[in-house]
Amino acid sequence: MSVYRLRIALLAWFLLSPAGMAAPLQLTLAVNDEARQFLIDTGQQIIVVLPEPSSPNEAMVVAVALELPLVDSAELILELDRELYVSNQWVLPLGEVVMSASHSAQTGRAYRFDGRSISEDGAGLPGYLSLYFDAPPNARPVQAGLAGFVYWKVAGRAEHPSPLRYFTAQRMQTQIVASTEPLLWVFVGSGIGNGSTLPRALLRPAAPVLTSAPRVAARRTSLQFGRYAAVKPSAGNTTILHFDLALGAFVEGPYPQTP
């Protein structure tokens, strides 16, 4: 086999096999004893959102809530865009995304939702996923989105993924969806669960940023959140954030060495 044909074969294998999925990303978060005690005393946990691309009208982000690590330095693993989901509940600000149907997802592939389940629908556009809503009669638009796994390495992957973002799928139309950008906003907060939708405009950075009514999910009535640190994790886990108690936020780099 020529070198050219070998390259084409490897590319096809990469795009069409599960092994062609993006490698998990890694990020190290450091929370020392003093910071951990403060977060425990105030009932706060670590919140991660992926803001790009954002939800419709760029108004909402979807939260992943993590329990506090039990060690001073913990590795966070991110497996993005592992599943495509549909929610039967319409979500409002401070609501919650509830995944009703889901299917393993891969960029470059097309999918179809028939009102009950999601199935593969052939090749799509490289770098994107597409979802065709083959709606039954009298169907309403639904909210769909991409889900993935965000977890502490020491704890292992959860059984089910967490919603990362959502969009509105109109009946008898195809939605083209760009893959999620590996840009994280990391902060602390309370009263926020997995799948909670937070108004993007209310989230503040700790430092300059890189650059007929459907059913409604239950709203949360009491939550609070701190300023976020924006970071792009890597597969090689070269990025570290530590929680700065004086700022009440995560900042880049390890804890300063004490004499």
Element (H, E) at 12: helix 3-16
Q: Is residue 16 a part of any domain in this protein?
A: no
Quickly count: other Cβ atoms within 10 Å of residue 74's Cβ: 19
Beta bridge partners of 185: 49, 230
pLDDT class for 190, splitting at 50, 70, 90? very high
Q: Is residue 18 a part of any domain in this protein?
A: no
Instruction: Decide: pTM greater than 0.85.
Output: no
Predicted pLDDT of residue 226: 82
Q: What are phi and psi of 11, to 5 degrees?
A: -65, -45
Range of the domain at 127: 23-252
Q: Is residue 7 a part of any domain in this protein?
A: no
* pLDDT tens track for 49-90: 998 876 665 678 899 999 998 889 999 999 999 999 999 888
Q: Is residue 43 a part of any domain in this protein?
A: yes
Taking CA atoms, 227 is separated from 46, 116, 204, in Å, by: 11, 39, 5
- In angstroms, the CA 88 to CA 133 distance is 13
Q: Is residue 206 a part of any domain in this protein?
A: yes
Q: Is residue 88 a part of any domain in this protein?
A: yes
What's the structural domain count of the chain? 1
Q: Is residue 134 a part of any domain in this protein?
A: yes
Question: What is residue 138's DSSP assignment?
Answer: T
Quickly count: other Cβ atoms within 10 Å of residue 227's Cβ: 17
* pLDDT tens track for 178-188: 888 888 999 99
Mean pLDDT over residues 27-32, rounded?
Answer: 94
Quickly count: other Cβ atoms within 10 Å of residue 116's Cβ: 10
Q: Is residue 2 a part of any domain in this protein?
A: no
